Amino acid sequence: MKNYRYVLFDLDGTLTESGEGIINSAVYALKKFGIEPEMGTMTKFLGPPLKDSFRDFYGFDDEKCEQAVKYYREYYTTKGIFENRVYDGVEECLKKLSEAGLHLAVATSKPQVFAVKILEHFHLAQYFDYIGGAELDGSRSVKADVIVHTLKNCGVNDRSQVIMAGDRYHDVLGAKALGIDCIGILYGYGTREELSQAGAVYIAETPLEAAKWLLG
């Protein structure tokens, strides 16, 4: 039996398939700047903090990033947030882990208010002790900071009992920076190579495979 008592889940690409809403919101924002993005390249917005994406991929300065995020949210808060679905097997996975006595929480770079709204909408909030995310102003969006915030609100001091579950290298590296293991989720937006190179302790192809490994 593994020593984990707490499982922290990423949201986008791990619990929900939220790509459509995120991409549509990013496209809406870019068009406000006269940019017509190549749709085939927009998956790069799935995972990293939003400001980082506008800065790294389009060279926006801080002021322009702030404006881009405002435009993004114009679309996201009314439409994009629900252009989203729960991955098959996720609720069964959460149920199995909860019934086995594990404590579950969410640690996402998405603003916390949106994460709570999404999980309540899909009736998944009930499985989590705490839903942790970024502030609306973009602070606390770095994965390690979100993890620290979530653990603090769950009253967890022993990090050896914690494991992160996420689909991108940000999840793995954020956890590793705190001495926490991370299980890679392959059905999301990352690749096996990406997760393996980042140092995931295991890579699961389905939610139920993740549950089986965590409980094994």
Percent of the chain with pLDDT over 90: 93
pTM score, whole prediction: 0.92
Whether residue 130 has pLDDT greater than 80: yes
Q: What is the pLDDT of residue 3?
A: 87
User: CA-CA distance, 116 to 1, in Å (whole number)?
Assistant: 31
- Per-residue HEC secondary structure of the chain comes to CCCCCEEEECCECCCEECHHHHHHHHHHHHHHCCCCCCHHHHHHHCCCCHHHHHHHHHCCCHHHHHHHHHHHHHHHCCCHHHCCEECCCHHHHHHHHHHCCCEEEEEEEEEHHHHHHHHHHCCCHHHCCEEEEECCCCCCCCHHHHHHHHHHHHCCCCHHHEEEEECCHHHHHHHHCCCCEEEEECCCCCCHHHHHHHCCCEEECCHHHHHHHHHC
Residue 205: its pLDDT value, please? 98
Distance in angstroms (rounded) separating the CA atoms of residues 26 and 79: 12
> Is residue 163's pLDDT more than 90?
yes
CA angle 216, 143, 158 (to 5 degrees): 50
Q: State the pLDDT at residue 48.
A: 82
On whether both 52 and 145 belong to a single domain, the answer is no
Sheet holding 162-166, edge to edge: 130-134, 103-111, 6-9, 162-166, 181-185, 202-204
Any idea what the CATH number is for the domain that residue 29 is in?
Answer: 1.10.150.240
- Tokens 């008592």: give the residue: 5
**Residue 137: predicted pLDDT:** 87
- 7: nearest Cα among 129, 186, 148: 129
User: Do residues 164 and 112 both lie within one domain?
Assistant: yes
> Where does the pLDDT of residue 150 fall: very low under 50, low under 70, confident under 90, or very high at 90 and above?
very high
Where residue 20 falls among pLDDT bands split at 50, 70, 90? very high
Whether 209 and 93 have beta carbons less than 8 Å apart is answered as no
Q: List beta partners, residue 184.
A: 166, 203
How many distinct structural domains can be found in the chain? Answer: 2
Mean pLDDT, residues 94-108 taken together: 98
Verify whether residue 10 is a known catalytic residue. yes
Structure confidence at residue 1 as a pLDDT band (50, 70, 90)? low
- What pLDDT, in 10s, does the model give residues 47-100? 788 999 999 999 999 999 999 999 999 999 999 999 999 999 999 999 999 999
> 99 and 194 share a domain?
yes
- Tell me, yes or no, whether 1 lies in a domain: no
Among 3-17, 39-53, 60-74, 106-120, the least confident range? 39-53
**Cα 146 from Cα 166, distance rounded (Å):** 13
Percent of the chain with pLDDT over 70: 100
128 and 200 share a domain? yes
**Residue 2 pLDDT greater than 80, yes or no:** no
Catalytic hit among 10, 167, 171, 181: 10
Listed residue (139, 148, 155, 170) closest to 11, CA to CA: 170
Average pLDDT over residues 167-179: 96
Residue span of the structural domain in which 31 resides: 19-82
**In the structure encoding, which two tokens stand for residue 71, read together?**
């435009």
12 and 38 share one domain: no
Report the mean per-residue pLDDT for the chain. 96
Is there a domain that residue 132 lies in? yes
C-alpha angle with apex 8: 193 to 155, nearest 5 degrees?
145
